[in-house]
Amino acid sequence: MAKTYQVAVLPGDGIGPEVVAQAQRVLELVSEKSNVKLAMQSYDFGGAAIDASGEPLPQETLKACKAADAILLGAVGGPKWGVGKVRPEQGLLAIRKELDLYANIRPALFPSDSLLEHSPLRADVARGTQFIVIRELVKGLYYGDRKEADLDTPGSKGEACDMMVYDRADVQRITRLAAHLALKSNPPAKVHSIDKANVLATSRLWRRVVQETIDSEFKDKGVEVDHQLVDSAAMIMVANPRKLNGIVLTENMFGDILSDESSVIPGALGLLPSASLSELPTGEQPAKGLYEPIHGSAPDIAGKGIANPVGTILSAALLLRWSLGLDKEATAVEQAVRKVLDSQDIGGYGLRTSDLGGNASTKQVGDKVLEILATLL
Ligand code: NAD
Ligand code: IPM
Ligand code: MN
C-alpha cells in the first residue's frame, strides 16, 4: 500500500492562488507517478480568511496545518486589507510561531544559466552566484513587545517601539541548521554570518554564539564561519555576490531584506522558493515544513494570469525533498523547471512570464513543466 502524505494548501491572496494552482498540478503528477500519494486539501488563510471569518489564521486552518506532513503556501496581503488592526500578514507571523518554523531557507541560485542574460547585474558579476540565505524566523523584531504610537491624542508624543530579543538557544539552533546545510557540500560550504555587532546588543550575542557553536560542534568537520556587517554585506551582494557563496546566516529582519535583494541576482522575485522548517532536514527523517515562494501577493498583476509560477513550483520541489523524503522526484521537478526556462533549446521560446522578458501565461508555464516532468518521472 502506498503511503499517503497530507499536504495542507494555503493559496492566500492576490497571485497566491494563481501560482499555487500550478504547483499543485505538479504535486498531483508526482502523486500519480510515484509510489507515495499526496492528499491535498485547501484552507482559508490571510485576507481570504479575514473576508470569510474575520481572522487571518482560523482555528480550522491552524489545526489542519499542525496535522499535515507539509504546508504549501501562496502569499498573503494586499491593498484591500491595508495595514489596519487585523491584517493578513498577522496570519503568516502566527503560523510561523505556532509551528515553531525557526529556519527560513531561501536559496539564491540560478535555476538556469540561461537566465544570466536577464539579470539586472552584468553577467560576469552574476555568473556563478550560489548562496543560500538562512533567516531566523520566529524571534527578533518581528515578535518582540511593541508599542504603537498614539498620534490622535492631543499632547501625546507619538512614540512607537519594537523590541528585538534573542537568546543563546535561538542563535545556537539556527547556527546548527546552517552548519548542517553547509556540510551537505564537499568541502563544506562557508558560513557567512551577517549582523550589526558594531551597534546592536542582539548582534553581539549573535556573533559570539555563532562563532562558539561552529567552533565547538563543527570546526573539526571543516565548517568555517566569517562575520560581516549587514550594511556592507548588502553592498557586496550586488557588487560581487560570489563573495557570499555558501550559506548566508542572519536574523529575522536582516534576512527578510537580504533575501529579497538576493532575488535580483537570478533576475526576478517570482523565481525563488523558500522553505520554513521546525527541525533539521537530515534527509533520513522528513522535517515538518511550510513552503512558499519568497514573493508577496503582487496586487499589481493579480487576476491577470501572468504571474511567474516558478518560485512556487520550486517550493513544491523543496517540499518533496525535505518534508516527504522524495529526493528523486524533487530533482525531476527542478530539472523540468530548468528545461522550461531554457525553452529556446526545446523549440518553444516565449515560455517565460513577462517578469523574465517573455510573454507566456502562468498556466502555459505550468503546462510545459508538467509536459516535461511527465517524461522525467
Ligand atoms: P510583492 O512581492 O508582492 O511584489 C513586488 C513586485 O514583484 C511587484 O511588482 C510584483 O508584480 C512583482 N512580483 C512578485 N511576485 C511575482 C511573480 N510571481 N511573478 C511576476 N511578478 C511578481 O511585494 P509587495 O508589492 O511589496 O507586497 C504586496 C503584498 O504582499 C503586501 O501586502 C505584503 O505584505 C505581502 N507579502 C506577502 C508575503 C508572503 O505572503 N510571504 C511576502 C512578501 C510580501
Ligand atoms: C516574507 C514577507 C513577510 C515577512 C511579511 C509578509 C510579513 O515579507 O515572507 O518575506 O516580512 O516575513
Ligand atoms: Mn519579505
**Protein residue closest via CA to atom 25 of ligand 1:** 298
What single string gives the DSSP state of each residue in 298-338?
A: -TTTTTTT----HHHHHHHHHIIIIIS--HHHHHHHHHHHH
CATH of domain 1-101+284-376: 3.40.718.10
Is the per-residue pLDDT at 350 higher than 90? no
63: helix, strand or coil: helix
Q: Which of the given ranges, 29-38, 209-218, 354-363, has the highest pLDDT on average?
A: 209-218
106 C-alpha to ligand 1 centroid (Å): 15
What digits encode the pLDDT tens for the residues 137-184? 999 999 999 999 999 999 999 999 999 999 999 999 999 999 999 999
| Residue owning grid cell 509536459 | 371
| pLDDT for position 357 | 85
| pLDDT for position 8 | 98
What digits encode the pLDDT tens for the residues 118-143? 889 999 999 999 999 999 999 999 99
Instruction: Confirm whether 1-101+284-376 and 120-146+158-265 share one CATH topology.
Output: yes
**Protein residue closest via CA to atom 11 of ligand 2:** 256
Is the per-residue pLDDT at 203 higher than 90? yes
Q: Catalytic residue at 170? A: no
| Annotated catalytic residue within 44, 69, 139, 196 | 196
374 C-alpha to ligand 1 centroid (Å): 30
257 C-alpha to ligand 3 centroid (Å): 6
Q: Where are the chain's structural domains? A: 1-101+284-376, 120-146+158-265
Atom nearest to 15 CA in ligand 1: 18
Residues with Cβ < 8 Å from 146, sequence gap 6 or more? 160, 161, 162, 163
**Protein residue closest via CA to atom 12 of ligand 2:** 256
The whole-number average pLDDT for the span 24-50 is: 96
Residues with Cβ < 8 Å from 258, sequence gap 6 or more? 133, 135, 194, 230, 233, 234, 237, 248, 250
What digits encode the pLDDT tens for the residues 207-239? 999 999 999 999 999 999 999 999 999 999 999
Which of 256, 260, 291, 292 has the most ligand 2 atoms within 8 A of CB, as the residue to mutate? 256
Q: How, if at all, do strands 146-147 and 161-162 pair? A: antiparallel
CATH assignment of 120-146+158-265, given 3.60.21.10, 3.40.640.10, 3.40.50.300, 3.40.718.10?
3.40.718.10
138 C-alpha to ligand 1 centroid (Å): 21
Which of 9-18, 69-78, 101-110, 168-177 is predicted with the least confidence, judged by mean pLDDT? 101-110
| Annotated catalytic residue within 142, 288, 291, 355 | 142
| pLDDT for position 280 | 83
**Protein residue closest via CA to atom 10 of ligand 2:** 256
Q: Catalytic residue at 142? A: yes
pTM of the model: 0.94
Q: Catalytic residue at 231? A: yes
CA distances from 353 to 25, 126, 134, 273, 320 (A): 18, 21, 28, 16, 25
- Count Cβ atoms within 10 A of the Cβ of residue 279 and give its class: 0-12 exposed, 13-18 middle, 19 or more buried: middle
> How far is Cα 42 from Cα 277, in angstroms, rounded to an integer?
20
